Amino acid sequence: MQTKKQLQMMTAKHDALKRNLTGEPVKCHFLKGGTCFKCDPGWEHRGNKCYRFLTEKLNWDQSRSRCEELGGHLVKIDSKDEQVRVALFSTQQNEDKFWIGLTDQEKEDEWLWVDGSKLDERFDSFWSGKEPDNWKGTNSDGEDCARMGQRGGAPDLKCWFDRDCNKPQKSICEKSASTGRVKFNCE
C-alpha cells in the first residue's frame, strides 16, 4: 500500500514538472509538501537557497555590486547548517578565500550583513582565532570586511576573517531558491 502511494506521488510530481518546466531543463529539488525548488543556470542549489561562487577576484564593494547584478547579494549566514554547507563547499576550492556579506565599515566592531541586520552573537564562534582583529598592517583603515576560508577543511567551522575591503578576493553570492518554485498537490 505504501509503495503504491509513493509511486502515485512520484508520478504526480513528474507530471507537474513536465507541465511547468519551460526552456532549458533544470535540476529540481523536492521538499516536503510537494514543493520544487530550482536555481538559475550557474547557481548551486543548497537548502532553500541558490549560491554562486564567483572566481573573479574583486574588492568587497565590487563583489557586492556583482552579486546584485546577478540578482542576488553577498551571502548572509543565517544558521549553523548554512555555515556548514557554504564552508564545506568554499574550502574545497583552490585558494579558498571568499568575500561574504558582512562588514563593519560604518562603525568599528558593529558587524552588519548586507541587508543591514546585525551579526547574531550565536555566530561569533565562526570567527577564526582572535578574529576579527582589525589589523592595520597593510591599510591604516584596518580590516572592515569579512571573508570565509583560508584553512582547508576548517573542521571546527571557525573560518571567518576580517580583511582589508580593497583586497581582491573571490566571493559567494546567494539568492532565494523560491524563484521558479513549482507547487502541486499529490494525493
What's the confidence (pLDDT) of residue 6?
57
Q: Kindly report, residue by residue over 39-78, the tens digit of the pLDDT.
A: 888 998 887 899 999 999 999 999 999 999 999 999 999 9
What's the confidence (pLDDT) of residue 35?
60
Can you tell me the distance from the alpha carbon of 147 to that of 134, in angstroms, rounded to the nearest whole number? 13
H or E element in which residue 18 lies: helix 2-20
- From first to last of its 187 residues, the chain has per-residue pLDDT tens of 556 555 555 554 544 444 344 333 344 555 455 566 788 889 988 878 999 999 999 999 999 999 999 999 999 999 988 888 888 777 666 667 899 999 999 999 999 999 999 999 998 888 888 888 877 777 777 899 999 886 544 555 778 899 999 999 999 999 988 644 444 444 4
Enumerate domains of the chain plus CATH numbers: 2-183 (3.10.100.10)
> Contact, 112 vs 104, CB < 8 A?
yes
**Before 132, cis peptide (omega within 30)?**
yes
H or E element in which residue 38 lies: none
Predicted TM-score (pTM) of this structure: 0.73
Neighbours of 111 (CB within 10 A): 23
> Contact, 143 vs 42, CB < 8 A?
no
Residues 6+ apart with CB under 8 A from 14: none
